[in-house]
Amino acid sequence: MKPTIYLDNSATTPVAEAVVEAMLPHWRSTYGNPSSLHEAGMAARRAMEASRAEVAGCLGASPEEIVFTSGATEANNLAILGTALAAGETGHIVTTAIEHHAVLHTAQWLESRGIETTVLDVDSTGRVDPSQVRDAIRDDTILVSVMAGNNEIGTIQPLEAIGEICRQRGIPLHTDAVQAYGKVPIPIDAIDMLSVSAHKLHGPKGAGFLFLRKGVRIVPLVHGGGHERGVRSGTENVPGIVGLAAATHLAFEERDEVTDRMRGFRERLISAIEAIPGTRLNGHRTETLPHITNFSFQGIEGESLIMRLDERGISASTGSACSSPDLEASHVLVAIGVPLSMAHGSLRISTGRQTTADEIETFLEVLPEVVEGLRAISPFKVGD
């Protein structure tokens, strides 16, 4: 692979060297099955339980509240479908219009099974008002699922206030914390279930967890040997779990330093891109994750934009229809009221712990040239 300036860390991140190092022995020497009684198995179990304790400690949870999964899509499915099954597949779910498809499509699928869903609108910055949640809750509501921080525009939600409302009504609150985990404080006391994926955090792909508060009842989706306290059967992915814990450790240890840097990059990106005519910042100026910056560019289409950036050695992503298999513009950008022409011309820049100021400056030198080049061949001129 040719050297790239990788600004697509919300898609996935490079695995940190310390994480790779931590994982390696668990293929080579600690290869046992954690369910086995012999030493090889016990060594693997010790590594797994140490990982569980690390993850739980960083979150402010108890180790037995951590259910390891294959990632956040599975964790989201487990939380939502598991709650619906426990409720006997009846009732009502509240979620938002800007959730990841792993939540939204799961809730929509449940509608076909007879569970009603209220999808809350968000304001033009992507925020949900806690009063919307209060108004949407019904007597038969079984779950509220609101993401912690949005993966496209970065907007964070008032989870503490939402959690308080849910608590008063005795309804579990689930949050997809894939992008927020390790980046911003999470009010864990307000939350009953939380989904995380390791690969967004400089950990390996194929590992994640569901935080499942003690006493919250869900029905397992995967049946078998009763692993993970019977909630998720299947021999545990020990190297992945160790990688998840090492990535978590790293993220929490260096969080202030890394996120301060990210906030600086975001400010620099915003001031430089706002100086280009015909642009708009998508998301919330301050209530945001530090690593995601989303802009729309008038008169150009996003897939062309990322392909032109790619030619120049820069990886980023877009919410354009042309980049999606269903040829539809990002549901997140549509939900915050971005006009279609601007939704097609969106660019998401997401930084990681490895991102440098030099990379940001190089990107900012290339970007105006690429934008100008595409505008020159577009029928829509800025100011039209």
As to burial, measured by CB atoms within 10 angstroms (0-12 exposed, 13-18 middle, 19+ buried), residue 139 is exposed
Q: Which is nearer to other proteins, 3 or 379 (CB)?
A: 379
**Does 383 interact with other proteins (rule: CB under 8 A)?**
no
> Binding residue for other proteins (CB under 8 A) from 128, 329, 332, 367?
329
Distance CA 276, CA 299 (A): 13
> Binding residue for other proteins (CB under 8 A) from 88, 185, 215, 325?
325
**Does 304 interact with other proteins (rule: CB under 8 A)?**
yes
In what side-by-side order are the strands of the sheet with 116-120?
A: 66-69, 208-212, 193-197, 173-176, 141-145, 92-96, 116-120
Q: Which is nearer to other proteins, 195 or 318 (CB)?
A: 318
Do the Cβ atoms of 147 and 155 come closer than 8 Å? no
Query: Of 37, 275, 322, 357, which one is the catalytic site residue?
Result: 322
Distance CA 334, CA 337 (A): 5
CA–chain centroid gap for 272, Å, is 26
> Binding residue for other proteins (CB under 8 A) from 12, 70, 341, 362?
341
Minimum distance from residue 348 beta carbon to other proteins (Å): 15
**Does 306 interact with other proteins (rule: CB under 8 A)?**
yes
Minimum distance from residue 155 beta carbon to other proteins (Å): 22
Distance CA 372, CA 276 (A): 10
Distance CA 153, CA 60 (A): 27
Q: Which residue has the tokens 């309804």?
A: 171
Number of chain positions touching other proteins (CB under 8 A):
26
Q: Which is nearer to other proteins, 67 or 329 (CB)?
A: 329
**Does 379 interact with other proteins (rule: CB under 8 A)?**
yes
Question: What would the two tokens of residue 384 be?
Answer: 């039209």
Distance of CA 180 to CAs 51, 197, 206, Å?
A: 20, 11, 18
Do the Cβ atoms of 116 and 93 come closer than 8 Å? yes
Binding mask 344-373 toward other proteins (x if CB under 8 A, else -) reads x-----------------------------
> Binding residue for other proteins (CB under 8 A) from 241, 299, 332, 349?
299
Long-range contacts of 175-178 (CB under 8 A, 24+ apart): 175/145, 175/146, 175/147, 175/148, 176/72, 176/76, 176/99, 176/100, 176/102, 176/103, 176/145, 176/147, 176/148, 177/147, 177/148, 177/149, 178/72, 178/100, 178/151
**Does 63 interact with other proteins (rule: CB under 8 A)?**
no
Active site residue 322: yes
Distance CA 312, CA 82 (A): 45
> Binding residue for other proteins (CB under 8 A) from 17, 21, 311, 372?
311
Binding mask 245-274 toward other proteins (x if CB under 8 A, else -) reads ------------------------------
Q: Which is nearer to other proteins, 284 or 344 (CB)?
A: 344
Minimum distance from residue 273 beta carbon to other proteins (Å): 20
**Does 303 interact with other proteins (rule: CB under 8 A)?**
yes
**Does 277 interact with other proteins (rule: CB under 8 A)?**
no
Q: Which residues lie near other proteins (CB under 8 A)? A: 299-301, 303-304, 306-307, 310-311, 320-323, 325, 327, 329, 339-341, 344, 376-380, 384
Annotated active-site positions, please?
322
